[in-house]
Chain A
Amino acid sequence: MSAPTLAASGESAGQRPGQPRRPRRIRANTSREGFARALRRNLSAHGFLLGALLCFAFFSWYPMVREFVLAFQKTEGGHTTWAGWSNLSYVFHDPAFWQAWRNTLLFTGLALVLGFALPFLVAVTLNEFRHGQGYLRMLVYLPVMLPPVASVLLFKYFYDPGYGLFNRLLGLVGLPEQQWLQSTDTAMVSVVIAATWMNMGGATLIYLAALQGIPGELYEAAELDGAGLLRKIWHVTIPQTRLILSLMLLMQIIATMQVFTEPFLLTGGDGPEGSTTTVVYLIYQYAFNFNNYGSAAALGLVLLVLLAGFSAAYVRLSRGSED
């Protein structure tokens, strides 16, 4: 087998006069000599690449592989043994498992209702302003700049049933006090409201950028056809932003199914009668409170499999957007 040469690759010898030069690329060489030459020529690039690969390998890929292995292991008496499916069986038989999934899906569902629609509506509204849009963008984005823990604690005070701002406001208009985080009926909704407020600024800006990429002629044509605001949104805005909406929806599903910080800080993780226990909080419990790393890894694996499906869809959509 002969080694491919630069001449044969068409980079120089095969090039016709006047034809633009193709940029040099790192080529896959099949022979040791070719590989060594390519390595020498792009030494610094390979150096940078190696550093990144090592970091990923050590801090991301290796722990992932270890987690996978750990999900099928048990440590007892100083000896690590193969546990087969017992960790998964433990997780599936844990009474908290199904409750955690119900809570997580409820959180995801509520997040779609509130957290997905609201930023889009705000972006559409902001897009209509001709003046002062920069200031409004800043105002919408401000909450994102607060440290997440500070935002959550702020809401914890707002929700306090004794002295909280929200109950004071309700009292001012003659409405009864609410239990907010302290009732099984309202705890998860309250968590979602806090999380939406904290996070909607970033999403709004992304939607706004997408909206501003829609050609104005489309709206003008729609107006000429007699379309009102709602019809313009339905027939122009939504079709034109369909791809970004789909991507954001998938990203939100992936992210919200991993929710941890908000319920952990607002309700101590479990909430009243376990109504805000989420899957990731349960993983945290297994690992750091029960010292049961095997079960934590097993539950992580279950979550991983589910999210991998959504991630695959995300990647597919992303490729669609690049094409």
Chain B
Amino acid sequence: MIQELREIDEIIDEYQGQKNALIQILLKIQEKKHWLPKPALLWVSERLNIPMAQILQIATFYKAFSLEPHGEHIIRVCLGTACHVRDGPKILEAAEQHLGIKSGETTPDLKFTLESVNCLGCCALGPVMMVDTNYHGKLRPSEVPEILEQYRTDTSALTNEQQKRKPTAQHQPASPVISR
């Protein structure tokens, strides 16, 4: 617990405790924890001297934030216009069926969180599904289960792939969380 708050202190200090950095601070916490735990928010409220109500207003308004725990892998199915006309909704359906959860939910084993997003900006590759920081483009619904199973079983291989994608030390880790 104290360790966790220390991590949050580090994030707040990075922004020199500026009040207007609240959204950026919450984004960083969300990135680290995959959600916004209550003790963390209370601590932010205390440190920045911002009322909890205002913090919750922001945490519920923006889609990047979640007040519930998220799964280990976050699946985002793009439902932007380009993906929509190329059968994006069927990709979402396939993922929903395979995981047995609806969009916005997390599997009971906390392995996957499924979300739909309104555009990943990969329109030429539609339909697109993003798992963590990996994009899977030009998908067919029948390919979805196989891709998801890879993440369930072979996490080490994927970590390698991700490392390859981010080869130098100067690269910041990609922000992992989008919307609910």
Do these two chains interact?
Answer: no
Residues of chain B touching chain A, judged by Cβ–Cβ distance below 8 Å, are: none
Residues of chain A touching chain B, judged by Cβ–Cβ distance below 8 Å, are: none
